[in-house]
Every structure is written in C-alpha cells, then in structure tokens.
C-alpha cells in the first residue's frame, strides 16, 4: 500500500511529492494531464519569485522559500531558471509613500531584506522606468524563475527519490470507509493509501464537495502577455502601487507582462479553458508600456490565461481537509503560490509525517469554519470583469 497519494502534479503537488519521497515515503502522484500544462496555474504562471507585499500570514513560508530559491537548481539537480534580479515595487505619487514606508518597516522587522529607495537609487536598479517615480521598495534577493521548468525539476527530483507519477490519469473520487479517507478511485480501480493530499488547484471541490467538504476558493483566470525579444534593459521584476502590473524581462529578452487582468473561463468538452479578452490585452499592454517605455519597441507575441484557485481571504488553505480524516489540502494560492512552492512542499511533507508545523498555522484549513457563509457565497459567485490589482 502507498503511504501517500498526491492528486495534482503542478508545482505544489510536485514539491510535496519531492519532499515526501526524499524523506522515504512511498508516494504516487496522479495528474489528469501532465505537470504544468495548459490551463493549469503552474503552466500559465508569471514565475515571479517575490517576498515583499504579501499578507503577513504568508511571511514564515515566503521567508523560508526565499532562502531556498538560490540553491534550488543544485538541490533538485535540474534547472528552475531562477535569476536573482531583485523585485522593485514602485510608487508614482508622494501620497502613497507613507503607506509603503510603513509596510517596508513591518517586513524588515519580520526578517526580510528590503529597503525603501530614493528615486535616484530606484533608477539605478531599473533605468528603463519612465520618469516621475518618487520611490520604491526593493528586495534584492527576489527575482524570477521558469514555472514549467521548476515544476519539471520538482517532479524529476521526486521520481529520483522513488515517487511514481501517473499522468493522464484523472482521480474520480476519494474513497471513504469507516469515517476515514482510505484512498482514491480512478474509474473502477480503487487505490489505497494511508494519506491523500489534494494539490488540485481550481479542481479541488470536485473531489471534496461530494463528501461534504467545500474549500472556499473560486476560479480566477489571470492573463499573461509575452513579447518578442529585445535587448536586455530590465533586471528586476517590477510591480507598482495602484497599477495592475507585473513586468519582467526574461533572460532570452522577452518582456513577460501580467498583473491580474482577467481572461474568460470557458467550459469545453468537460474541461476548462481560458479565452483571452481584447480589453484585457489592451489594458495590460498600456500599463506596461507606460511604466517601461522600451516595452513598446516589441510586439505581443503570445497571450494566454491560466486557472488559479483564489481563496476567499487571499491566502492559501493548507492542512487537514475539514471532516475528511486522512486527507489534506494545499490549495487557494491566489496568484502567488509559485514563490512559496519549496516551503509549502517541505511543510506539507512534515505535516503529513505527523509533525506540528508552526509555519502553517496562519494559513491552516482550521479557519474555514470561522468564515462568514454569506461572504464566502458572495465571493464564489463574483466574477471579476475588471482586473484584480495583484502583486504577482
Ligand atoms: C497567470 C498567472 C500568473 C501567476 N504569477 C505568479 C507569480 O509571478 N509568482 C507567484 O508566486 N505565483 C504566481 N502565480 C500563482 C502560481 O502560479 C500558482 O499559485 C501555482 O502554480 C499553483 O500551483 P498548483 O500546483 O497548486 O496548481 P496547478 O498548477 O493548477 O496544479 C493543479 C493540478 O492538479 C491537477 N488535477 C486537478 N484535479 C485532478 C484530478 N481529479 N485528478 C488528477 N489531477 C488533477 C490539474 O491537472 C493540475 O495540473 C500565477 C498564476 C497565474 C495563473
């Protein structure tokens, strides 16, 4: 019998698989498609590796992850594409400086290497920015990585340590017996396991709701734009106060532009897909070319959307699935789970192994019961047509 079945082979499921297999557990990952393919979040992701600007409940995980990213290629013996160019969160009006200053202070007290830059210092870090920037928060240890290669690296390392992957295999249900989850079903086949971990992103409630457990997440489908390659002009990743923007330049020269602009989710042949909206493409392009004018020297080469599980309160749910003894969830990463992935994998592996994991207490599933059902209901039915200004 398997120790652990993991459902979902995205960056979160594959990181959990790696950490569990490394500790000697017999693990199998079930993935309905393949790790990090469309329209999953790990395929679509902007790959920003950013500590700053997060909800304090994510601080323990983000700090641990930031510490691990620089050595992850060596640890996994495979390339993640991590580049430590720093992250710059810029301010365009004096009125916004005070709030940013206070946030920087809080994050520094939490242990983050972050500083508030004067305009001249900000332009030294990112000379390509338009004029008029009045300050910026800078985290030099942040950067970017390639989400598809990172997911593949975790999956390969998991398999190196003995984890098995069953790709193109959709899990149809959780098997419950004598008040406990005993495994999963794939068609008529039952697979027994001591523990089942769901790293199933937007698809989670299809498995848990039939057993009475609904995780308060909703489907979001943020857009990404990729330009033609240009000369190297932008080292840090960029976001800006009150702007729906995340902007970076890849090592191959393309600008990669996000920021929460929505695509439309369409159901097709029993699967979900994202349809790009012209207004989102135009809006995202306008912001990026305004903040970094040299972006306009390029043209948009590709655009896409990806399915991300947005949690009702903006931070993930990680822990025992309420009412489903023997099952755990790690879902609801709300547009910023990629950076956390090394720490989430470690923490969930420890939790499944029976440890008390203090880093997970603030993002625990235990808070689900305390949420106001009216707020949860309204949240799940809201479908944003205007961009959610997120930091990616
Ligand atoms: C456009 C976009 C930009 C983003 N940018 C950033 C960023 O810059 N920085 C950052 O930190 N984060 C970012 N994120 C968020 C980050 O990418 C996600 O939080 C992260 O990839 C979530 O990974 P996951 O493994 O939980 O989900 P997913 O990658 O969606 O994986 C879930 C997997 O479960 C599988 N699955 C589901 N149900 C079943 C089933 N029944 N049987 C078998 N398999 C199943 C699916 O096929 C899928 O592969 C972004 C997300 C998006 C969409």
Q: Report the distance separating Cα 142 and Cα 139, nearest Å.
A: 6
336: nearest Cα among 65, 123, 96: 65
Band of pLDDT at residue 392, cut at 50, 70 and 90: low
Q: Are 152 and 59 part of one and the same domain?
A: yes
390 assigned to some structural domain: no
Best of 45, 225, 388 to mutate for ligand 1, by most ligand atoms within 8 A of CB?
A: 45
Question: Residue 13: CB within 6 Å of ligand 1?
Answer: yes
Determine which of 162-176, 191-205, 267-281 has the lowest per-residue pLDDT on average: 267-281
Residue 362: the pLDDT is 97
Distances from the Cα of 62 to the Cα of 108, 161, 308, 357, angstroms? 13, 25, 19, 15
Q: Are 114 and 172 part of one and the same domain?
A: no
Q: pLDDT digit string (tens) for 183-228?
A: 999 999 999 999 999 999 999 999 999 999 999 999 999 999 999 9
Q: Report the distance separating Cα 176 and Cα 251, nearest Å.
A: 48
Q: Are 53 and 159 part of one and the same domain?
A: yes
Question: Residue 315: CB within 6 Å of ligand 1?
Answer: no
Q: pLDDT digit string (tens) for 24-36?
A: 999 999 999 999 9
Q: Are 16 and 154 part of one and the same domain?
A: yes
Residue 268: the pLDDT is 77
Q: How far is the centre of ligand 1, averaged over its atoms, from the C-alpha of 97 (Å)?
A: 33
Q: Look up tokens 């969830």; give the residue.
A: 329
Q: Are 124 and 153 part of one and the same domain?
A: no
Question: Residue 308: CB within 6 Å of ligand 1?
Answer: yes
The pair of structure tokens assigned to 105 is 């202070």
Residue 145: the pLDDT is 98
The pair of structure tokens assigned to 239 is 């976001």
386 assigned to some structural domain: no
Residue 385 has pLDDT above 90, yes or no: no
Residue % of the chain over a pLDDT of 90: 93
Q: Report the distance separating Cα 184 and Cα 191, nearest Å.
A: 5
Asked whether 147 and 81 are in contact (CB, 8 A), the reply is no
Question: Residue 39: CB within 6 Å of ligand 1?
Answer: no
Question: Residue 5: CB within 6 Å of ligand 1?
Answer: no
Q: Are 43 and 183 part of one and the same domain?
A: yes
389 assigned to some structural domain: no
39 assigned to some structural domain: yes
Distances from the Cα of 333 to the Cα of 338, 363, 392, angstroms? 8, 10, 11
Asked whether 352 and 219 are in contact (CB, 8 A), the reply is no
The pair of structure tokens assigned to 132 is 């008029």
Q: How far is the centre of ligand 1, averaged over its atoms, from the C-alpha of 270 (Å)?
A: 19
Q: Report the distance separating Cα 288 and Cα 291, nearest Å.
A: 5
Residue 248 has pLDDT above 60, yes or no: yes
The alpha carbon of 233 is separated from its chain's Cα centroid by a whole number of angstroms, namely 26
Nearest-5° Cα angle at 338, 61 to 148: 145
Q: Are 304 and 156 part of one and the same domain?
A: no
Q: Within 10 Å of residue 242's Cβ, how many Cβ atoms?
A: 10
Residue 2 has pLDDT above 90, yes or no: no
**Which of 309, 342, 363 is where one domain is finished?**
309
Best of 221, 333, 348 to mutate for ligand 1, by most ligand atoms within 8 A of CB?
A: 333
Q: Report the distance separating Cα 336 and Cα 54, nearest Å.
A: 9
Question: Residue 256: CB within 6 Å of ligand 1?
Answer: no
Handedness of CA 54, 59, 61, 66 (dihedral sign): positive
Residue 388 has pLDDT above 60, yes or no: no
Residue 391: the pLDDT is 47
Question: Residue 203: CB within 6 Å of ligand 1?
Answer: yes
CATH (domain of 13): 3.50.50.60
Band of pLDDT at residue 128, cut at 50, 70 and 90: very high
Q: Are 57 and 172 part of one and the same domain?
A: yes
Question: Residue 142: CB within 6 Å of ligand 1?
Answer: no
Asked whether 275 and 305 are in contact (CB, 8 A), the reply is yes
Q: pLDDT digit string (tens) for 59-87?
A: 999 999 999 999 999 999 999 999 999 99
Ligand 1 atom nearest the C-alpha of 14 is 25
391 assigned to some structural domain: no
CATH (domain of 262): 3.30.9.10
Where in the sequence is the domain holding 38, given as residue range(s)?
2-70+147-216+311-381
Residue 134 has pLDDT above 70, yes or no: yes
Residue 270: the pLDDT is 77
Pairing type for strands 143-144 and 135-139 reads: unpaired
Band of pLDDT at residue 389, cut at 50, 70 and 90: very low
> CB-based contacts of 5: which residues, under 8 Å, 6+ apart?
27, 28, 29, 30, 171, 183, 184, 191, 193, 195, 196, 197
Asked whether 176 and 324 are in contact (CB, 8 A), the reply is yes
75 assigned to some structural domain: no
**Which of 260, 294, 309 is where one domain is finished?**
309
Q: Are 206 and 233 part of one and the same domain?
A: no
Question: Residue 392: CB within 6 Å of ligand 1?
Answer: yes
Mean pLDDT of the region 229-253:
98
DSSP secondary structure letters along 126-142: -TTSPTT--EEEEETT-
Q: Are 164 and 89 part of one and the same domain?
A: no
Residue 21 has pLDDT above 80, yes or no: yes
Q: Report the distance separating Cα 216 and Cα 239, nearest Å.
A: 28
109 assigned to some structural domain: yes
Mean pLDDT (the chain) is 96
Asked whether 62 and 54 are in contact (CB, 8 A), the reply is yes
Q: How far is the centre of ligand 1, averaged over its atoms, from the C-alpha of 264 (Å)?
A: 17
Q: How far is the centre of ligand 1, averaged over its atoms, from the C-alpha of 175 (Å)?
A: 24
Q: How far is the centre of ligand 1, averaged over its atoms, from the C-alpha of 129 (Å)?
A: 31
Q: Report the distance separating Cα 367 and Cα 317, nearest Å.
A: 8
387 assigned to some structural domain: no
Mean pLDDT of the region 255-268:
94
Q: What crossing angle do the helices spanning 59-68 and 337-352 adopt, rounded to 10°?
A: 100
Question: Residue 146: CB within 6 Å of ligand 1?
Answer: no
Band of pLDDT at residue 109, cut at 50, 70 and 90: very high
Residue 267: the pLDDT is 87
Asked whether 174 and 181 are in contact (CB, 8 A), the reply is yes
Residue 387: the pLDDT is 55
Band of pLDDT at residue 380, cut at 50, 70 and 90: confident
DSSP secondary structure letters along 15-32: HHHHHHHHTT--EEEE-S
Residue 295: the pLDDT is 98
**Which of 248, 277, 309 is where one domain is finished?**
309
Q: pLDDT digit string (tens) for 282-334?
A: 999 999 999 999 999 999 999 999 999 999 999 999 999 999 999 999 999 99
Q: How far is the centre of ligand 1, averaged over its atoms, from the C-alpha of 42 (Å)?
A: 4
Q: Are 229 and 331 part of one and the same domain?
A: no
Considering only CA atoms, which residue is closest to atom 25 of ligand 1? 10
Best of 7, 19, 34, 46 to mutate for ligand 1, by most ligand atoms within 8 A of CB?
A: 46
Q: Are 268 and 370 part of one and the same domain?
A: no
Question: Residue 195: CB within 6 Å of ligand 1?
Answer: no
Task: Domain count for the chain, please give it.
Answer: 2
């Amino acid at each position: 019998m398997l120790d652990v079945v993991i459902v979902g082979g995205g960056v979160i499921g594959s990181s959990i698989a790696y950490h569990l297999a490394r500790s000697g557990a017999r693990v199998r990952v079930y993935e309905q498609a393949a790790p990090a393919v469309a329209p999953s979040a790990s395929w679509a992701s902007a790959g920003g590796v950013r500590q700053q600007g997060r909800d304090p409940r994510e601080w323990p995980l983000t700090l641990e992850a930031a510490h691990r990213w620089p050595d992850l290629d060596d640890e996994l013996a495979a390339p993640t594409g991590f580049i430590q160019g720093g992250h710059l969160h810029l301010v365009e009006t004096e009125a916004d400086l005070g709030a940013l200053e206070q946030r920087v202070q809080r994050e520094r007290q939490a242990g983050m290497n972050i500083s508030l830059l004067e305009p001249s210092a900000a332009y030294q870090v990112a000379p390509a920015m338009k004029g008029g920037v009045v300050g910026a928060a800078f985290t030099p240890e942040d950067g970017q990585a390639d989400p598809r290669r990172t997911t593949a690296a975790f999956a390969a390392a998991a398999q190196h340590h003995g984890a098995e992957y069953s790709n193109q295999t959709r899990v149809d249900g959780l098997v419950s017996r004598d008040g406990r989850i005993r495994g999963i079903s794939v068609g008529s086949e039952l697979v027994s396991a001591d523990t089942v971990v769901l790293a199933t992103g937007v698809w989670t409630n299809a498995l848990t709701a039939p057993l009475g457990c609904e995780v308060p997440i909703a489907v979001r489908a943020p857009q990404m734009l990729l330009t033609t390659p240009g000369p190297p002009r932008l080292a840090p990743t960029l976001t800006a106060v009150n702007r729906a923007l995340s902007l970076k330049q890849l090592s191959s020269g393309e600008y990669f532009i996000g920021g929460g602009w929505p695509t439309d989710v369409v159901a097709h042949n029993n699967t979900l897909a994202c349809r790009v909206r012209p207004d989102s493409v135009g809006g995202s392009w306008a912001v990026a070319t305004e903040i970094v004018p040299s972006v306009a020297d390029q043209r948009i080469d590709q655009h896409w959307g990806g399915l991300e599980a947005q949690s009702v309160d903006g931070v993930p749910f990680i822990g025992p699935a309420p009412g489903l003894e023997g099952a755990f969830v790690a879902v609801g990463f709300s547009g910023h789970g990629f950076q956390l992935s090394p720490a989430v994998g470690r923490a969930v592996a420890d939790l499944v192994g029976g440890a008390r994991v203090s880093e997970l207490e603030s993002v625990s599933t235990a808070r689900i019961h305390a949420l106001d059902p009216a707020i949860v209901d309204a949240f799940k039915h809201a479908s944003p047509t205007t961009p959610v200004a997120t930091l990616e």
